[in-house]
Structure 1
């Protein structure tokens, strides 16, 4: 049986790492900070549109959470690859 609480909790923990990595990058300033801020906003808008589309097509909240976790994992990988 699927437990949405666990997936949501894991998403929250994983997202905290991305927030930390982004804040460090922004704190250093420069062109990388500017680029990170722009990508942060565009990624959030894109993810929200994708989530809304999934729900409108009959997708479940579980699918949306799983996809958000993929986005978070990709960001963690990108931000730690420096």
Structure 2
């Protein structure tokens, strides 16, 4: 449980950074802002679907105790990818 809490806390810090960077990009507007808005919505839907599938697979495999960690790892990976993309160059 401590690892789950720690991972969730790290994810929340990174997610706040991504939110701030995305909001700045959207606020600037133009084609890049519109693209970021569209990408954000598409990514959220995909991440929610993938996280739900990972949790369901854990339960189906008889490992419900791993469902939260596996779902959280989907979000952590996506947030890390966005943070790298938004902070590069």
Q: TM-score, normalised by structure 2?
A: 0.85
How far apart, CA to CA, are the structure 2 residues paired with 1:49 and 1:12? 19
Report the aligned-residue RMSD. 1.4
Cα distance, 1:2 vs. partner?
5.3
Cα deviation 1:35-70 (Å, max 9, x = unaligned): 000000000000000011111112521111122111
Are 1:25 and 2:32 matched, yes or no?
Answer: no
List runs of 5+ in structure 1 lacking aligned partners.
Answer: none
Cα contact 2:50–2:74 (8 A) shared by 1? no
Cα distance, 1:80 vs. partner?
1.2
The answer to which structure has the higher helix fraction is 2
Shifted more, 28-37 versus 2-11: the winner is 2-11
From 37, 57, 67, the equivalent of 1:60 is 67
How far apart, CA to CA, are the structure 2 residues paired with 1:53 and 1:21? 28
Larger of the two Rg values belongs to structure: 2
Q: TM-score, normalised by structure 1?
A: 0.91
- Count of paired positions: 82
Any runs of at least 4 consecutive aligned residues in structure 1 with deviations exceeding 6 A, and if so which?
none
